């Protein structure tokens, strides 16, 4: 059995991948299945936490015992996460958030014409994880005790991960090894969890629940 070490704690987990509308029927999206975020939500419930799961475009049933907020775009995800974070002890951002969105969303479906198609112009999305950390540091808005992010890296995992942890200002960064049938859409994951002011924790390839439990071990250790 799992420890009930998150009893009385409120945690927020984001899962899945955001979609950015191009027109009423099309979007720019990504391949995140939401499996890792759902594993985090499930294991947190099992460890006694009160869990809000912000799920972006996930085709999985709601995990028992969690409050699920379904969202589509990065703007939706940002609003839901910032709102739930207001009363949270910990936030774990496992969602794959679109870095860019179409600058203008057409109100009608783009027509197939004989002329050359118009280019789709992109604009930057806000970095929700970085914003959460900035707000906490500057004492404005939600101040969860522990803020964790995920990062998919293919090379120089430790160096790139360390730089990202520092840049975002979060407490934990789970650096996924992508590729080789790992991460996206698979039941398994392998990762290194970088800890602000601490040693990295290596998690060998295994079920996403195992990685989730390591994350909650580290979160629980940092909660006062």
What's the token pair of residue 10? 């409120």
Three-state DSSP class for 86?
A: coil
CB-nearer residue toward ligand C5P: 44 or 128: 128
DSSP result, 22-84:
EETTEEE-----SHHHHHHHHHHHHTT-EEEEEEES--SPPPTT-EEEEE-SHHHHHHHHHHH
The verdict on whether residue 99 carries a ligand-binding annotation is yes
CB of 4 to ligand C5P, least distance (A): 26
- 181 a catalytic residue: no
CB-nearer residue toward ligand C5P: 43 or 125: 125
Helix ranges (DSSP H) in the chain: 35-46, 74-85, 128-138, 157-168, 208-222
The verdict on whether residue 147 carries a ligand-binding annotation is no
| Closest C-alpha among 58, 3, 66 to residue 33 | 58
CB of 219 to ligand C5P, least distance (A): 14
CB of 68 to ligand C5P, least distance (A): 17
CB-nearer residue toward ligand C5P: 2 or 162: 162
Give contact residues for ligand C5P (rule: CB under 6 A): 14, 93, 95, 97, 99, 125, 127-129, 149-151
Active site residue ranges: 30
Annotated binding residues for CTP = 99, 109, 126-129, 150, 164, 168
């Amino acid at each position: 059995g799992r420890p009930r070490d998150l009893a009385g704690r409120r945690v927020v987990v984001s899962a899945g991948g955001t979609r950015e509308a191009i027109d009423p029927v099309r979007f720019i999206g990504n391949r995140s299945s939401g499996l890792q975020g759902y594993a985090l939500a499930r294991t947190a419930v099992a460890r006694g936490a009160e869990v809000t799961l912000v799920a972006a475009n996930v085709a999985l049933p709601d995990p028992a015992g969690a409050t699920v907020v379904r969202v589509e775009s990065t703007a939706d995800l940002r609003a839901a996460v910032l709102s739930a974070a207001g009363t949270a002890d910990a936030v774990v951002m496992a969602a794959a958030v679109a870095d860019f969105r179409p600058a203008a969303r057409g109100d009608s479906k783009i027509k197939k014409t004989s002329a050359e198609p118009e280019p789709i112009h992109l604009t930057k999305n806000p970095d929700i994880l970085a914003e959460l950390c900035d707000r906490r540091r500057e004492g404005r808005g939600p101040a969860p005790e522990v803020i964790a992010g995920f990062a998919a890296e293919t090379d120089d995992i430790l160096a790139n991960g360390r730089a990202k942890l520092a840049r975002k200002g979060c407490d934990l960064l789970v650096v996924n090894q992508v590729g080789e049938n790992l991460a996206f859409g698979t039941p398994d994951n392998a990762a290194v969890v970088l800890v602000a002011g601490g040693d990295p924790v290596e998690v060998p390839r295994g079920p996403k629940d195992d990685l989730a439990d390591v994350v909650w071990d580290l979160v629980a250790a940092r909660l006062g």
